């Protein structure tokens, strides 16, 4: 989770992000779109996480700027373990202006 957040913050890591996405859920994504660095991320707070077998989840809040105003993104991400690697499946997302 933290490595994916860092990749979004730094921009230019679309290849990494695509490789960490569960392939059946990433069919409409492109390396170019994922490499975009047009969002200014301000912070990440992990709220909770859990694992059950090959499934895991992470609940977090991340703050970014939208038109110079801070916005909080709240997500409960779902991951699946394949081999020794975790892959992002998707999540429930909400955005709230601060």
The CATH class that applies to domain 2-97 reads alpha beta
Residue 37: pLDDT over 90: no
Burial label, 27 (beta-carbon count in 10 A; 0-12, 13-18, 19+)? exposed
- Quote the pTM value: 0.91
**In this predicted structure, what is the pLDDT of residue 15?**
97
Tens digits of residue pLDDT in 38-93: 899 999 999 999 999 999 999 999 999 999 999 999 999 999 999 999 999 999 99
Q: In what order do the strands lie in the sheet with 69-82?
A: 40-52, 55-66, 69-82, 85-97
Cβ-contact 60, 1 below 8 angstroms: yes
For residue 1, pLDDT beyond 90:
no
């Amino acid at each position: 989770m933290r490595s994916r957040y860092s990749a979004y913050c730094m921009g230019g890591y679309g290849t990494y992000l695509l490789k960490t996405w569960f392939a059946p859920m990433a069919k409409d994504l492109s390396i170019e779109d994922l490499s975009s660095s047009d969002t200014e991320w301000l912070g990440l707070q992990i709220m909770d996480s859990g694992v059950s077998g090959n499934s895991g989840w992470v609940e977090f809040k991340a703050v970014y700027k939208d038109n110079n105003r801070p916005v909080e993104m709240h997500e409960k991400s779902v991951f699946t373990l394949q081999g020794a690697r975790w892959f992002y499946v998707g999540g429930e997302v909400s955005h709230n202006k601060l």
